[in-house]
Structure 1
């Protein structure tokens, strides 16, 4: 799949923002007043900013509102509804903390659950696609959720929890890569099934269907070399999980905390770029690209 910057920023930053809202919703950190306002501003900038970034990938952004009408069948529509409800619930909950120094627990828990649901629905947009075997796995939503919760814990300053969550996220990311590398071959889909010519004999690509490019090739066929992929995986894993965990084991320092957050965000962006760049859409078989 073509790794479009808008979708990478959307899935990365909105996940961090909603992850922070989860922790704020359950009362961690236990802040009120202006301190609470600062946390909510960060969470909303990430969550809403990520959602806005996603519209840049739409062919006709003006029609985005129509997606809300398809909630019965579309994970994109469910994501939209969950996001709106989560942001509304957390806005009211945040107002109680900031202006009245009151923690309305039921509303906070509802907002936290809706924030988790938003991240889950985002992941299911990709996990539902049988045409991308690497994504069509329970590890896809687990990967999205683990990074969201771990990133939220990091932004919320939950030092003890974040170290364990980062290690869990690292294990799930490794599992997603290992299993994902075998997903296309394990799916049983090949050029013979893609062209429906397998009944004749062995099928191989002689020439591409056409000499120029088209929408399918631009959006669904992207090939990254194995050497580059391995290097980027190592960079992503170290920056996303290992380095922040090591920094947090040291005596607390605001500069170290800031570096840990910056490293984590950079690692998540790298991993999310790989998420799209390594996804082998089965349409690539028809063009002899796999």
Structure 2
């Protein structure tokens, strides 16, 4: 699928911001006063900034509020409600730390749980899509959650937790790629099943259904070369996990920890680009692209 910039910003920044809010909600750390203001300002800039970017991918951004009305059937709508609940609860929790120097632990725990719930709803927007076999796997929400927590731990300065989560995220990312490369073939979907003519023999495409570009070709039939993809995977692994683990070594101190968070974020952006670029939508069968 076409890796739109709005989706890259959305999935990269919001995950890190929500992971950051998760650790703040657990009191890891639990600053007060202006220090707390700085922590929460950064977390909200990441979370709210990323979530806001998703609006620009809508065909009619002015209708974004309608997303809240379909919560019974739409993961996008559930994500919207979960995000608003998270930001509201964490704002109240943060106000206690900033203005009163008081940590309302139950409120923080609720905010942390809501932050994780928001990440899950975001991942389920993609996981539930059977038309994209690469996404339709339990590894997708597991990967989203782990990467969000790893980024949150880095921004929260929780180096111990970050090391463990980075390693887990690395393993899950590699497993997701290995599994994903086989998903389309294992789904059993081909031009025969897509057209319903498979019982008559092998089906071939005589001509493309359109003589020129259209929305489906632009958005759903993006193809990335395997050699190019492998190079980007290598870059994602280095930037997302390996280099941050090196920068977290005691020899690099606080500067290394700060750089680790930024480097990790750049690696997640590369991973997210591949997440969309390598997603083989079954509609591509009609255009001979699968």
* TM-score in same-fold range (> 0.5): yes
Paired position in structure 2 for 1:172:
172
Residue 102 (structure 1) aligned with residue 99 (structure 2): no
Aligned to 1:81: 81
TM-score normalized by structure 1? 0.98
Deviation string 1:230-260 (CA, Å, 9 cap, x unpaired) is: 1100100110011101110232423322321
Distance (whole Å) between structure 2 residues aligned to residue 266 and residue 16 of structure 1: 11
1:199: Cα distance to partner? 2.2
Partners of 2:30 and 2:52 in 1: how far apart?
29
Name the residue aligned to 2:135. Answer: 135
- What is the alpha-carbon distance in structure 2 between the residues aligned to residue 30 and residue 158 of structure 1? 12
Shift of 1:197: 1.8
Large movers: runs of 4+ above 3 Å? none
- 3-state DSSP of counterpart to 1:161: helix
Relative to the length of structure 2, the TM-score reads 0.98
**C-alpha contact 2:30 2:103 (8 A) present in aligned 1:** no
The answer on 1:162 being equivalent to 2:162 is: yes
Question: What is the distance in 1 between the residues matched to 2:84 and 2:187?
Answer: 36
Query: Helix, strand or coil for the counterpart of 2:251?
Result: coil
2:195 is aligned to 195
**Unaligned regions of 5+ residues in structure 1, if any?**
none
Preserved contact between residue 119 and residue 148 of structure 2 (Cα < 8 Å): yes
The alpha carbon displacement at 1:271 in A equals 0.1
What is residue 276 of structure 1 aligned with on the other side?
276
Report if the CA contact (8 A) 2:154-2:261 is conserved: yes
User: Shift of the alpha carbon at 1:131?
Assistant: 0.3
1:63-78 mapped onto 2 (5 Å cutoff)? 63-78=63-78
Q: Tell me, in whole angstroms, the C-alpha distance in 2 between the residues paired with 1:243 and 1:60.
A: 40
Structure 2 gaps, min length 5? none
Please tell me the root mean square deviation across aligned C-alpha atoms, in Å.
0.9
Q: Which residue number in structure 2 is paired with residue 223 of structure 1?
A: 223
- The answer to whether the Cα contact below 8 Å between 2:155 and 2:258 also exists between their aligned partners in 1 is no
Number of aligned pairs?
A: 290
1:207 partnered with 2:225: no
2:159/2:257 contact within 8 Å kept: no
2:17 is aligned with 1:17: yes
| Superimposed CA distance per residue, residues 113-150 of structure 1 (whole angstroms, 9 cap, x where no aligned partner) | 00000000000000000000000000100010000000
Partner of 2:115, secondary structure, is helix
